[in-house]
A and B are shown apart, each in its own frame.
Chain A
């Protein structure tokens, strides 16, 4: 299968709450990336974490990586309605960037 798995598949929270999304992958990696996609739009690159990093921050985003478990998590703190989107993790397999199944996040105001 091309895809890793992400959970939850869908997440609905209130504005101001934190949102956590998880991603698992199958192969060894050099890095893992997270992307956001607003409905019907292209992808926006959020953050890249290298295999020798355990945690990385960017604004309200916090990404963790556990290479022993082949998993990563994306935490969005103090969520806003504008964070409503689909979120995908992606890993590189050879020349290809392969995406997880994605989490649909809805932030209610």
Chain B
């Protein structure tokens, strides 16, 4: 199956700093990537849809200036949490959509645990 990686797998930062999370599709090209946030014992909530070469589409209630998304290539999307605060502590999961095939399969990264002190 297709592999999606995320880096880092976990990060601890001080309040007010910015953190960048990378999402890579390792063996396929993904024109579309998705960023989800998951709080403990809750489901995945879609934050934004990242399209290669264009601006990301953010879900209602997600601040685009706080969660900067860049999808500069067909295999890489980055999420930058700017001026992070403790309430941004969460598990961030990216997903890459492979457009070949019938069902436009979507593959998930292993997630990044962000802890803001």
Contacts and interface: CB of A to CB of B under 8 A. Distances in A.
A43 B91 CA distance: 12
Binding site of A, secondary structure by majority: helix, strand, loop or mixed?
Answer: strand
Contacts of A101: 42-43
A34 interface: no
A1 to B, nearest CB: 10
Contact of A97 (B91, B106, B109, B110): B106
A98 interface: yes
Contacts, number: 43
Interface in A55-75: none
Interface residues of B, number: 21
Contacts of A88: 43-44
Contact of B32 (A35, A40, A95, A100): A95
B43 A102 contact: yes
Interface of B: 32, 34, 41-46, 49, 59, 91, 93, 95, 103, 106-111, 113
